[in-house]
Amino acid sequence: MRRAGLPLVIVSNWQCGLRHFCTELGLTPFFDDVLASAEVGSVKPDAGIFVEACRRLDLPPARVLHVGDSPIDDVEGAHGAGLAAALLRREGELPGGDAPMLGSLEGLPALLGLDGVGGRPTTADEGE
Protein backbone atom coordinates (compact mmCIF):
# COMPACT_ATOMS: atom_id res chain seq x y z
CA MET A 1 0.00 0.00 0.00
CA ARG A 2 2.86 2.37 0.80
CA ARG A 3 4.52 1.65 -2.54
CA ALA A 4 1.27 2.72 -4.21
CA GLY A 5 1.54 6.04 -2.38
CA LEU A 6 -1.49 5.52 -0.19
CA PRO A 7 -1.60 7.16 3.21
CA LEU A 8 -2.42 4.69 5.98
CA VAL A 9 -3.87 5.42 9.40
CA ILE A 10 -4.54 3.14 12.35
CA VAL A 11 -8.00 3.87 13.77
CA SER A 12 -8.73 1.89 16.91
CA ASN A 13 -10.96 1.74 19.96
CA TRP A 14 -7.97 1.79 22.30
CA GLN A 15 -6.63 3.52 25.37
CA CYS A 16 -4.24 6.44 25.42
CA GLY A 17 -0.74 5.45 24.41
CA LEU A 18 -1.58 3.46 21.28
CA ARG A 19 1.03 5.36 19.25
CA HIS A 20 3.74 4.42 21.77
CA PHE A 21 2.58 0.79 21.74
CA CYS A 22 2.72 0.74 17.92
CA THR A 23 6.18 2.34 18.02
CA GLU A 24 7.40 -0.35 20.40
CA LEU A 25 6.09 -2.99 17.98
CA GLY A 26 7.86 -1.30 15.05
CA LEU A 27 4.59 -0.48 13.25
CA THR A 28 4.63 3.33 13.10
CA PRO A 29 6.96 3.60 10.07
CA PHE A 30 4.21 1.95 8.02
CA PHE A 31 1.50 4.46 8.98
CA ASP A 32 0.97 8.18 8.59
CA ASP A 33 -0.95 8.49 11.83
CA VAL A 34 -2.35 6.53 14.77
CA LEU A 35 -5.74 7.39 16.27
CA ALA A 36 -6.88 5.90 19.56
CA SER A 37 -10.48 6.44 20.59
CA ALA A 38 -9.45 7.50 24.11
CA GLU A 39 -7.26 10.28 22.70
CA VAL A 40 -9.73 11.41 20.04
CA GLY A 41 -12.74 11.31 22.38
CA SER A 42 -14.85 9.24 20.00
CA VAL A 43 -15.39 5.48 20.04
CA LYS A 44 -16.30 3.48 16.94
CA PRO A 45 -18.98 3.18 15.61
CA ASP A 46 -19.43 6.90 16.36
CA ALA A 47 -18.63 8.98 13.28
CA GLY A 48 -16.28 11.29 15.16
CA ILE A 49 -13.21 9.05 15.04
CA PHE A 50 -13.68 8.46 11.31
CA VAL A 51 -14.17 12.18 10.66
CA GLU A 52 -10.96 12.86 12.59
CA ALA A 53 -9.06 10.31 10.48
CA CYS A 54 -10.28 12.04 7.31
CA ARG A 55 -9.33 15.44 8.72
CA ARG A 56 -5.81 14.23 9.47
CA LEU A 57 -5.55 12.73 6.00
CA ASP A 58 -6.90 15.98 4.54
CA LEU A 59 -9.33 13.94 2.45
CA PRO A 60 -13.10 13.84 2.10
CA PRO A 61 -14.74 10.69 3.52
CA ALA A 62 -15.73 9.55 0.03
CA ARG A 63 -11.99 9.11 -0.77
CA VAL A 64 -11.23 6.92 2.28
CA LEU A 65 -11.60 3.17 2.80
CA HIS A 66 -11.75 1.84 6.34
CA VAL A 67 -10.79 -1.80 6.90
CA GLY A 68 -11.81 -3.49 10.12
CA ASP A 69 -13.07 -6.71 11.67
CA SER A 70 -16.36 -5.60 13.23
CA PRO A 71 -19.54 -5.33 11.14
CA ILE A 72 -20.94 -2.76 13.57
CA ASP A 73 -17.94 -0.77 14.83
CA ASP A 74 -16.05 -0.75 11.55
CA VAL A 75 -18.47 -1.21 8.66
CA GLU A 76 -21.55 0.56 10.03
CA GLY A 77 -19.39 3.21 11.71
CA ALA A 78 -17.44 3.96 8.55
CA HIS A 79 -20.56 4.00 6.39
CA GLY A 80 -22.27 6.32 8.89
CA ALA A 81 -19.38 8.78 8.48
CA GLY A 82 -19.47 8.56 4.68
CA LEU A 83 -16.45 6.27 4.23
CA ALA A 84 -16.28 3.07 2.22
CA ALA A 85 -15.57 -0.03 4.30
CA ALA A 86 -14.20 -3.54 3.91
CA LEU A 87 -14.67 -6.28 6.47
CA LEU A 88 -11.68 -8.37 7.53
CA ARG A 89 -12.82 -11.93 8.24
CA ARG A 90 -9.98 -14.18 9.28
CA GLU A 91 -9.93 -17.97 8.91
CA GLY A 92 -12.74 -19.71 10.74
CA GLU A 93 -14.99 -16.67 11.00
CA LEU A 94 -18.39 -16.62 9.37
CA PRO A 95 -18.95 -14.06 6.61
CA GLY A 96 -21.41 -11.30 7.23
CA GLY A 97 -22.36 -7.74 6.43
CA ASP A 98 -22.80 -5.82 3.21
CA ALA A 99 -19.19 -4.69 2.77
CA PRO A 100 -16.55 -6.39 0.63
CA MET A 101 -14.82 -9.10 2.67
CA LEU A 102 -11.14 -9.88 2.97
CA GLY A 103 -9.66 -13.09 4.37
CA SER A 104 -6.46 -11.18 5.20
CA LEU A 105 -4.95 -7.79 4.56
CA GLU A 106 -2.96 -9.35 1.73
CA GLY A 107 -6.16 -9.14 -0.36
CA LEU A 108 -6.43 -5.36 0.02
CA PRO A 109 -4.38 -4.39 -3.07
CA ALA A 110 -6.58 -6.59 -5.29
CA LEU A 111 -9.75 -5.14 -3.71
CA LEU A 112 -8.47 -1.66 -4.54
CA GLY A 113 -7.46 -2.62 -8.06
CA LEU A 114 -3.81 -1.82 -7.40
CA ASP A 115 -1.79 -3.64 -10.00
CA GLY A 116 1.07 -1.15 -9.86
CA VAL A 117 -0.65 1.16 -12.36
CA GLY A 118 -3.66 3.42 -12.28
CA GLY A 119 -5.83 4.96 -9.58
CA ARG A 120 -4.76 5.64 -6.06
CA PRO A 121 -7.60 5.14 -3.60
CA THR A 122 -6.91 6.07 0.00
CA THR A 123 -7.05 3.76 2.99
CA ALA A 124 -7.74 4.32 6.67
CA ASP A 125 -6.71 1.07 8.28
CA GLU A 126 -8.21 -0.22 11.47
CA GLY A 127 -5.59 -1.33 13.95
CA GLU A 128 -7.18 -3.74 16.41
Q: Is residue 68 part of a domain?
A: yes
Q: In what order do the strands lie in the sheet with 101-102?
A: 33-36, 9-12, 122-126, 64-68, 84-88, 101-102
Note down the domain range covering 121.
9-126
Distances (CA, A) of 22 to 17, 30, 83: 9, 10, 24
Domain harbouring 104, CATH code: 3.40.50.1000
Residue 4: inside a domain: no
Tens-digit pLDDT profile for residues 19-76: 999 999 999 999 999 999 999 999 999 999 999 999 999 999 999 999 999 999 999 9
C-alpha 63, offset from chain centre? 12
- Kindly state whether residue 3 falls inside one of the protein's structural domains: no
Q: Report the half-sphere exposure of 40 (CA within 13 A, side-chain side).
A: 26
Residue 62 C-alpha from the chain's centroid: 13
Q: What is the pLDDT of residues 95-121, one digit of tens each?
A: 556 788 898 888 899 999 986 544 444
pTM of the model: 0.84
Q: Is residue 2 part of a domain?
A: no
Is residue 106 domain-resident? yes
Count of domains in the chain? 1
